[in-house]
Chain A
């Protein structure tokens, strides 16, 4: 089992190297960095000097090596736009995005899984209503849902704030909105907006997988052995749906955090997505490349986590991995 994890880790390193190469090439191919840094009246000699000082005349491989080693030391350089260290900018934005992603994931799982199981087991008006509702959830674009929620709860009813994070409390460098009422209030609408797609997907996936599993021989055999329905559905059937469900939820979670851009801009949520959007507008290449690397790291970490979950769920993977 250890070798399985080691092998996955090694694979992850290669993925990260590939991504860092792409991030590195952003600097080279999205315009000349010197031209963006200096004003028009800077002399050519000064430009050459700067180029030399920044190491841009070194061979590409040396530059790439330096880039990777800086990344691994969490030295991300400075933003072209704000002249701040990129690491500071990211750290100040990261908690907002992670908190938003976590809450929307929890909402989607807490509602999606029970609803999926329910609709798989029971036929009736409630099941149909749920299925139709999720069909709407899956087909209406995120920003429309966001705007609708703002209109309903923010404008018409006036219950919840429509933008920003509300009051936050600092836990070291981590600004959390979990500790204040206004923070929770502000979190609710964007989290629902972001989670609704994941929720519908989870529900439909759980439902489809449950329906397949319920047709298998081992469920029929367990029914014929008189195993009580609660254990039959939860312990026997639901566990068997987990492998595909965990895979998809994992992939989606990465997507939620990486591409929360739309939701963040609708709710003016001060997270990474909004930062990325601004960086694109001002061609802020250092921020963009670091963002790219971080998102890739997150995807890789989530996938690693999903692989570990497979090990926990399915003995067949576990034992194959043991001597693989």
Chain B
């Protein structure tokens, strides 16, 4: 059988100011009809570049420097754009990552579908509409006849992705490139979309290239898999073989870095040696600064006398106690004539966090996880309920004074390290800000020493303090964010999806770091994640949120072995996992 898509020796280069960057280096790949071929790797591996090269939409100034892309035997490289544009959509389609942004907001679903169908075949408007309706039905949309004339923003994320899939299918292509098609979706929706892609592939006998960073997804639906790293093919073969019996060290390490749903491990394996640290970076020191100094400073902080060493000991009073918490957002502006309509983000939440404990909070998007975190740190004002911190009343953000002790004692690490650090400040400015604000040091020399030491503590070179955030990778930035939180000598740390913007290997490093810090300093942590496997690795107890309501509270082992609530069981069932 000849391959539908045959990529031979493909190299893609991007000219930059500092010389040419090789995004793809001699890639060979074959995709057959009726099979799903997975491309997996971390960011920078070149997965998406392969997809863009096949469909001929490489981001300028990137170009194909060598090799061939044979589609049904025809070479696509060097084809003139007019001919290429005929093939796009008609014979090769694409599915994009984020259904929120991949549909034109100003045109109805019907307009977009009919235009695409009529672009590639000579059919009447009403025939095209009929075809669009039957396609949308096929992708599992309900009430299609009326909903087809709605605009994209009237659909939920999962529904939009179905529309995107219908758009990709509406011209009966032979090959579909799906670039992270489920990354932006909740697990339950992800499961449905993956099942849809798999059944379409089999029924219509089309070839699918599935690009993802998630080995769980690869394991669920692909027939073949190619593991990529830094633009090179590491390993390729049938999925069961590659994942079941990886030949390469990198594949094994990549799999080991994926948090496991079925058992708790003490530590993750590190697969990346630290990001390009040169001797310039490591040789630079501030006098007497060291990780040990930072630990000692953090441990000596006066309020820590009664730090519990063992976390099994839950007889303590809770460090944080939330009862009857309710948060209401006003949706849109209140009308002049109408009544204010509110949206309840959280309803009657009761949570206790004990000293030295990691409480995991799980839930799908919109479940109110982040709102809970924001209500506790005081960024969102609850409409009802009360909070206690260390036995004292914790006022809501509106009434919490700037100098309130809890403002220092509760610190937060945000989800996206690219937007949570001020790009106009040096790392030294960023980390010394809490020190200055809470008067934690007496003089400038001391502050600098602390900044350098705490950077060491989060496994960053001291010289990092001279640089700006944009000079660091996502994982390094998140460590800077952790350092900024630590330096306030907190007793309670809130981590809101701290690793969901990171690659698995970087995630593994950061989770290791958080575990170490938690154990050393006996921190109490509220750990929020949509990823159940990460929660299993980190949390002592788990709470499940759904639509702003508390569904279940349980010890981690008990939760993962026998969840009592039906929704929790469903969540667990739908999370893709590695079974090898």
Contacts and interface: CB of A to CB of B under 8 A. Distances in A.
User: Chain B interface: which size bin?
Assistant: 35 or more
B96 interface: yes
A319 B167 contact: no
B386 interface: no
Interface in A4-39: 7, 10
B282 to A, nearest CB: 39
B130 interface: no
B391 interface: no
B119 A7 contact: no
Contacts of B120: 226
A61 interface: no
Nearest to A315: B151
A221 B103 contact: yes
* B90, B105, B171: residue with the most chain A Cβ atoms closer than 10 Å: B105
Contact of A221 (B102, B154, B332, B336): B102
B116 A218 contact: no
Nearest to A213: B104
Contacts of A319: 151, 153-154
Interface string B111-144: 0100110011000000000000000000000000
Interface in B530-562: none
Contact of A226 (B90, B105, B108): B90
Interface in B73-115: 85-90, 93-94, 96-98, 101-108, 112, 115
A217 B119 contact: no
Interface in A209-258: 216-218, 220-229, 231, 235-236, 239-240
Classify the interface of chain B: helix, strand, loop or mixed: loop
B337 interface: yes
Interface residues of A, number: 28
B457 interface: no
Interface string B380-405: 00000000000000000000000000
A299 B85 CA distance: 46
Nearest to B103: A218
B106 A226 contact: no
A218 B86 contact: no
B57 interface: yes
| Chain B CB within 10 A, most for which of A235, A239, A324 | A324
A59 B104 CA distance: 59
A211 to B, nearest CB: 12
A281 B354 CA distance: 78
A320 interface: yes
A75 interface: no
A65 B434 CA distance: 57
Nearest to B113: A225
A10 B104 contact: no
A223 B106 contact: no
A313 interface: yes
B116 A225 contact: yes
> Which of A226, A227, A314 is packed against the most chain B CB atoms within 10 Å?
A226
Contact of B153 (A220, A229, A315): A315
A225 B119 contact: yes
A3 interface: yes
Interface of A: 3, 7, 10, 216-218, 220-229, 231, 235-236, 239-240, 313-316, 319-320, 324
For the complex of A and B, list the 4 residue pairs with the smallest distance between their C-beta atoms, beginning with the closest: A226-B89, A225-B89, A226-B88, A224-B94
